[in-house]
């Protein structure tokens, strides 16, 4: 099973590497990194990744889309959004973390679906998908092939949720234990969501 991580300059570090930590513990998973044009991608934490071009994706199993400051620029990049739409339509599963849901929403693919995002940036994210059924209080949301999570560390919870759904609850618990991570396994309750 290929885990295709779509990254861009100024992605949020834990948005990407939290899920990578989870999926990296599953033998069946092969993790690869892609960007629009390939080459070196870096962020403000000085994390650098060498990526392949987006059109070099060969297996359309899982797409991971992190968020971060760079997402605020890319929502207005038509080339990026069109390429994202093309590959996301082909994927069996699309997982977004934090403001990565704004990028997917901008493609129109989340229209009519339930989704969530980072609570600090929630109002901005909503402007990029006015026909999405946004759920403010959710830690993560599953709607058909789309998994969307709240901010940053929520991507770990969602990824463990995905593992639970597709590989079994015991596997998810085993991974969380190996990570010495306390899994927030209630997807409907984000402790960072203030009462509305």
Alpha-carbon distance values, 107 to 76, 86, 95 (Å):
11, 9, 14
Report yes or no: 4 and 62 within 8 Å, Cβ to Cβ: yes
Report yes or no: 68 and 129 within 8 Å, Cβ to Cβ: no
> Is 104 inside a domain boundary?
yes
Q: Is 101 helix (H, G, I), strand (E, B) or coil?
A: helix
> Is 195 inside a domain boundary?
no
pLDDT at residue 154, as a whole number: 97
pLDDT at residue 196, as a whole number: 42
The stretch 163-190 carries a mean pLDDT of 96
Q: Which residue has the higher pLDDT, 194 or 113?
A: 113
pLDDT band at 159 (very low <50, low <70, confident <90, very high): very high
pLDDT band at 151 (very low <50, low <70, confident <90, very high): very high
Q: Which residues contact 76 (CB under 8 A, 6 or more apart)?
A: none
* Residue 194, pLDDT above cutoff 80: no
pLDDT at residue 191, as a whole number: 87
pTM comes to 0.96
> Is 86 inside a domain boundary?
yes
> Is 193 inside a domain boundary?
no
> Is 183 inside a domain boundary?
no
> Is 12 inside a domain boundary?
yes
CATH number at residue 147: 3.40.50.880
> Is 186 inside a domain boundary?
no
For the stretch 83-140, pLDDT in tens is: 999 999 999 999 999 999 999 999 999 999 999 999 999 999 999 999 999 999 999 9
pLDDT at residue 84, as a whole number: 98
> Is 118 inside a domain boundary?
yes
Q: Residue 41 is part of which domain span?
A: 2-178
Report yes or no: 53 and 35 within 8 Å, Cβ to Cβ: yes
CA atoms within 13 Å, Cβ hemisphere of 58: 6
Among candidates 8, 83, 73, 63, which has minimal Cα distance to 38? 8
For the stretch 115-131, pLDDT in tens is: 999 999 999 999 999 99
39: left (phi over 0), alpha (psi -120 to 50) or beta: left
Task: Tell me what the pLDDT averaged over the chain comes to.
Answer: 96
Domains contained in the chain, number: 1
DSSP codes, 135-180: -SS-SEEEETTEEEE-STTHHHHHHHHHHHHHH-HHHHHHHHHHTT
For the stretch 30-78, pLDDT in tens is: 999 999 999 999 999 999 999 999 999 999 999 999 999 999 999 999 9
């Amino acid at each position: 099973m290929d885990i295709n991580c779509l990254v861009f300059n100024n992605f949020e570090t834990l948005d990407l590497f939290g899920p990578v930590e989870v999926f990296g513990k599953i033998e069946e998973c092969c993790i690869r990194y892609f960007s629009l044009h390939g080459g070196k991608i870096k962020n403000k934490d000085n994390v650098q990744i060498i990526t392949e071009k987006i059109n070099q994706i060969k297996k359309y199993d899982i797409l991971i889309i992190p968020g971060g400051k760079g997402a605020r620029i890319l929502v207005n990049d038509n080339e990026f959004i069109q390429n994202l739409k093309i590959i996301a339509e082909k994927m069996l599963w699309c997982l977004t973390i934090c403001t990565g849901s704004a990028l997917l929403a901008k493609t129109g693919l989340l229209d009519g679906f339930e989704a969530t995002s980072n609570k600090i940036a929630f109002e901005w994210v909503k402007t990029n998908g006015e026909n999405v059924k946004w759920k403010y209080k959710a830690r993560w949301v599953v709607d058909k092939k789309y998994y969307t999570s709240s901010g940053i560390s929520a991507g770990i919870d969602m990824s463990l949720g995905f593992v639970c759904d597709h590989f079994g609850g015991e596997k998810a618990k085993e991974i969380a234990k190996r990570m010495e991570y306390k899994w927030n396994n209630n997807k409907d309750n984000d402790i960072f969501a203030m009462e509305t």
